Chains A and B, each alone.
Chain A
Amino acid sequence: MSKAKANSKPKDNVSPTVRIYIMGEAKDVPASLTIMKAIEYAGYKLTRGAGCRAGFCGACATIYRKEGDYRIYTALACQTMVEDGMYLTQLPFVPAEKAKYNIKDLSPSAETILRYYPEVARCLSCNACSKVCPQDLSVMDYVQYALQGQIEKATEASFDCVSCGLCAIRCPAEIPQYHVAELVRRLYGKYIQKYPETLDKRVKEIEDGVFEEGFKEFMSMSHDEIVEKYKARDFIDQKKK
């Protein structure tokens, strides 16, 4: 890996600094930055590798090694601080095919999972997926739950997935775990989770025009009249003084 002198020099009042290697190039950056901000500090204007910048969208999946350390590390660049000696690169894209299905025609079972993602059966239980997950999810566990048709458990274990795709890139069995998780969660949401009865009742009331008169009255009110209505609201759910 490159050992050339760093060509970025932090401002005098910034301290302390760390040396990182962005795709091999040495850069000295303030130690207080996240990986994403450090890459920008070093001069890159990101197009790929940055999305929500808050840990939700999965666009900034990052792979690194550290000097003198054989291990592969992963991170979300927007949520991780730089460390001395990081050799960094970002994943610009994750090639992983999503199966197509009509969610309305399925059943929440292991057969469904295997029909759309037969490769799930190839899981070696090596746990590489869990090790790379920047959300610290037990990815291998949810893959196993999915394989066993334990849809609720698989949903729970995969819920905080941000679909960065690092698991799919690392998997020796070539499973696109995060796509499997999406199918699992939709099966749970549609077929297993209870369906609140208030919903259809209210939708029907609205379709039947139950609130029509009320809305007409509100919309014909003057500014002062609607303000009075607003002030007169009651708060049955909340403690108020």
Chain B
Amino acid sequence: MKFIRGYPEAMRKSIDNVNKTRSKRIDEVIADMTLEERDKVLKSFHPDYKKETKENIAWGPNKGDLVPIEVASILNAYPTVSPDTIDLSKVDYDVGVLIIGAGGAGTSAALWANYSGVPEDQILVVTKLRHGDCNTIMAQGGIQAADRPEDSPLIHYLDVMGGGHFTNEPELARALTEDAPAIIKWHKDIGAIYDLNEDGSFVENPGGGTSRNRMHAAKDYTGMEIFRTLRDEFNDLSIPILEFMPAIELLTDEKGKITGALLYHLETKQYFVVRAKITVLTTGGFGRLHVAGFPTTNHYGATMDGVLMAYRAGAQLKHLDSTQFHPTGAAFPEQIVGLLVTEKVRSLGGQVLGYDGEQLCYPLEPRDVEASALIRCCSSTENYIETPSGMRGVWLDSPIIEEIKGKGTIQRDLSAMYRMFQRFDIDITEDPILVYPALHYQNGGVTHNKNCYTSLKGLLAAGEISGGVHGKNRLMGNSLLEINVFGRRAGITAAKEYKKQTAKGKLTLNHLKTTVTALDALNIKDKKYSPILLPEYREEAVQNRLIQLYEEIR
């Protein structure tokens, strides 16, 4: 196959269309959709609205909820450990505050617990992979905060509620928007860098569904810059962390209060027991379940362990039927299909185009609407572009950014994107990017209130694991915000609980017995086990040859 500057010759015809229409499109504004039009495109094309990809949660507090099949198969599965084989009488780590998950939410929770008076040796953070193998570090486009005089937390709140189809928990949406400026201030205080204009004001761009420009960014490495600053601060404070040690179940006392967690060492395969006064769940979302068969923008460990652990212990879940598909996942080259192409490309003026080089829709609709419009083009019209492997996509016109904002803008403000495509011989300052929606974010999850208390005693939750903040659709720039706002609140609440004169509870796995009883009653034919911890990418030929060697256990 002949390639010309990274693209197969056959795709060049459509790229010519894009180049021809560009000058005309610079001032062309496509009308955005009314609420009624949004509703129509969502119901016709968004995977969330397709019944055939859904299944019921079969047991527990959310029994009967219709959720993606992949999610149901995790929740309707048997525990991987049997309570009888675990000795809980020997406590390996006895701490005040246990934080499960070391992405952005967990790291800020640990920092704020410590700032709020919990000594560092009374905090323990555990994480499945390394400190920083998380979605936060790969967030690119920005973080929202209404700090300009012509903006306000109230306007931000309206954008959040409308973006979420008014299904958000109002008190959570309020906390999100009202805490935002203080979060940016905190970041500045500990030395994080945000893009500034010459006059020292923040560079602030629009995002899909925002009525003001309030996206703060650090090039297109915003999550990386925020996270590495938090992590450096975390290490400065000497807060203990265990890497490659995921929690696989929570521990409960006789009354169901959360009293700690059972950890699993990914490499030595041992279990460890943690007892804690208060436990914070910050384990993130479910991208690696590949809901509806979509490729994902998420990190390797995003397998919904936290939601599952909480559910088995009796926690209430919410909005797990709702999945965010990012409108612009990479659709070419094949090696990077599904990787995130930041919304910032559209914030800076990038347009979404069909085969003919004409705009398909307003480029900054809320994410679910934009994604649905792209799916519509690829599944019910002929105006899509097909790759040699048969994948369909549409163009995201990046070169137009250089014409609107000036030469050099892409290498300065989108250096991660520029580098990623350059590695595959595509120059996004010269040629457009082929995109198709990719699984991006778990909109729903564990319910909690504004101070991060869940429905279970002893358990707090924050970050992507949560349900209710964004309702059924999150806007760009509100997840980097969420992990900081609710991570901080969880840390402060954890400190408050830590200081209470209560004794630590008994450690049991009684809730697993309840789980197994409930599952047994369903007579499931094809029994599955969870958490899965990591997705399976080995070839079937390899999997068919796996054998289990039994070691002698004394």
Contact = CB atoms under 8 A, between A and B. Distances in A.
Interface of A: 8-9, 32-34, 37, 40-48, 50-59, 79-81, 98, 100-104, 135-136, 155, 159-160, 162-163, 182-183, 185-190, 193-203, 206, 211, 214-215, 218-219, 223, 226-227, 229-231, 233-241
Contacts of A52: 133-135, 137-138, 299-300
B157 interface: yes
B200 A195 contact: yes
B416 A160 contact: yes
Interface residues of B, number: 88
Contacts of B135: 52
Contacts of A33: 335
A98 B241 CA distance: 15
B533 to A, nearest CB: 9
A101 B236 CA distance: 6
B201 A196 contact: yes
A57 B137 contact: yes
Contact of A103 (B174, B191, B336): B191
8 contacts: A32-B334, A33-B335, A45-B538, A53-B300, A59-B133, A79-B423, A233-B159, A237-B212
A7 B255 CA distance: 54
Contact of A188 (B154, B193, B221, B233): B193
B155 interface: yes
B182 A206 contact: yes
B70 to A, nearest CB: 18
B6 interface: no
B188 A190 contact: yes
A238 to B, nearest CB: 5
A8 B152 CA distance: 59
B206 A237 contact: yes
Given A79-B336, A189-B191, A238-B211, 4 more contacts: A80-B423, A185-B225, A233-B158, A240-B31
Nearest to B300: A50
Question: Top 8 nearest A-B pairs by Cβ distance?
Answer: A186-B191, A51-B133, A194-B200, A190-B191, A189-B191, A230-B162, A241-B31, A43-B542
Contact of B191 (A46, A54, A185): A185
A57 B299 contact: yes
Most chain B CB inside 10 Å of its own CB: which residue of A34, A198, A211: A198
B150 A233 contact: no
A193 B29 contact: no
B129 A159 contact: no
Interface of B: 29-32, 35, 129-130, 132-135, 137-138, 146-150, 152-155, 157-159, 161-162, 166, 170-171, 174, 178, 181-182, 184-185, 188-193, 196, 200-202, 206, 211-213, 218-219, 221, 223-225, 228-229, 232-233, 235-236, 238, 244, 266-267, 297, 299-300, 334-336, 339-340, 364, 415-416, 419-420, 423-424, 534, 536-539, 541-542
B147 A198 contact: yes
B100 to A, nearest CB: 18
Contacts of B29: 239-241
A160 B335 contact: no
A203 to B, nearest CB: 5
B300 A40 contact: no
A237 B364 CA distance: 13
Contacts of A98: 232, 235
A184 B445 CA distance: 38
A124 to B, nearest CB: 27
A103 B193 contact: no
A28 to B, nearest CB: 12
Given A47-B244, A198-B201, A57 B233 contact: no
A72 to B, nearest CB: 19
B423 to A, nearest CB: 6
Nearest to A103: B191
Given A53-B299, A53-B300, A229 B334 contact: no
A43 B538 contact: yes
Given A45-B536, A57-B132, A81-B335, A159 B219 contact: yes
Contact of A185 (B149, B193, B539): B193
Contacts of B129: 47, 50-51, 59
A231 B536 CA distance: 45
A189 B334 contact: no
A100 B236 contact: yes
A54 B190 contact: no
A8 B540 CA distance: 12
Contacts of A195: 188, 200
Contacts of A56: 137-138, 221, 223-224, 416
Contacts of B185: 199-200, 203
B541 to A, nearest CB: 8
Contacts of B166: 223, 226-227, 230
A230 B266 CA distance: 48
B152 A218 contact: no
A184 to B, nearest CB: 10
Nearest to A179: B232
Most chain B CB inside 10 Å of its own CB: which residue of A48, A56, A81: A56
A45 B32 CA distance: 45
